[in-house]
Structure 1
Amino acid sequence: VMQLRSAGRRLSETELKSLRETLDEMLSEMEADPMFFISEEGAVTGGWDLKLGSKAMARRWSRNLVKKFGGTVRETSTVVGSNDGIEVSRLTLSYRKPAYGLGDVIRFRKNLWIVESWQKDGPILKKMDRFERTGATWRDMEGSIVVCSRSEQFVVDILNRDSSAVEVLDPTDYKVVTVALPYDDDLESKSVRIGFIQGVWLAVPSGGK
């Protein structure tokens, strides 16, 4: 059994679709295996459950989910009967997706950070206002809040620039607004990624420097 969940909240339909699609992608890229099948699946409170044909299939998919979306996998084994005196067990893998994704701007320990990448114990974060990276554990991140998800950010053309700021069109009402340059501005860029954070448009650094 494979359980898809999120930490402390219900998975959205969009998230479930993204998670579920990775299984189809994995199966399409693999050689045919008679044990790699889905016998049953459906919505449950807070997520989605699937009964898969093999433990190897479930473990491989769980590794793919963690690599792409971060999060943790808990594995439990339950004895469900016996066959010729040999215990038959059922493996349950519970995948928990974090409440944030790559590129999201989060508030963590009173500062703004961007979720940059995943590692086994938690995400790698980069500071919004200067070149600084740090690792955090999944437990550390429990108190973090997403203030601007990647999907809520916009890449806009730069109309004018000076040494500290650029003028761009507000993507919601197309009025000209001034946005402070990100710390990693390269002076040559024709566009900038922005997010509406704490009531103002802020540039989101790429973190390439």
Structure 2
Amino acid sequence: MTTSTSDGSAARPSSKGERTRQRIIDVALEMFAERGYDGTTMRAIAAEAGVSVGNAYYYFKSKEHLIQGFYKQATVQHAESAPKALEGKETLAERIEAALLAWLEIAGPYHDFAGQFFRNAADPNSPLSPFSEESAESRERDIGLYRQVLEGSKTRVPKDLADVLPEMLWLHQMVVVLYWIYDTSEGQEKSRELARRTAPLVARVVALSRLKVLRPLVKQGEELVRDFLITRRPR
């Protein structure tokens, strides 16, 4: 079981097994930064973490599944840090921006080798894909966070869009993340600026969707989202 600190940040795992699992993840991320994703083997990770290869495979079936462990860790941290980031923010634009900036803050230390992850994640058959079945738990956790973003804002959401908007906001985050991967600006400041400038636009679209004159267009958009959002299973 992983505990949380009083400030809402993620605490270290409390059990021996979870500490071992976390150690493997931490070592892997360090080695990915030094050697690259493709240049790092599970055997090398196990040796550096001080565990047997069999033990490493006990916790992670493959190197790809190890990255799933990192994805899970990152989304847990995002979910835990979001309440503080959202505190005092009532407009939807402010809340979307806060959630995006919180994610960029968590992802920041891993930017140097994020492109290597993306090369693997871009394969639709890879478990590293954010749209894969293996990523479902982490994906749903982040979509749930955007549900909180919507519910805590002053913006009234049309009832017929309420169940798809959190996923649409998560997809907006994926666009920001994709930009961040290729962002060479110092400290990836341009990615933060992208988050700041697109959040009001997204919030404005949500607000305008309630206007009667736009309802036919919104209805068409809703049908497209329901039929083609690739994170949803066929009906």
How would you bin the TM-score normalised by the shorter chain?
A: under 0.3
Using CA pairs under 8 Å that are at least 6 residues apart, name the structure with larger relative contact order, 1 or 2.
Answer: 2
Bigger helix share: 2
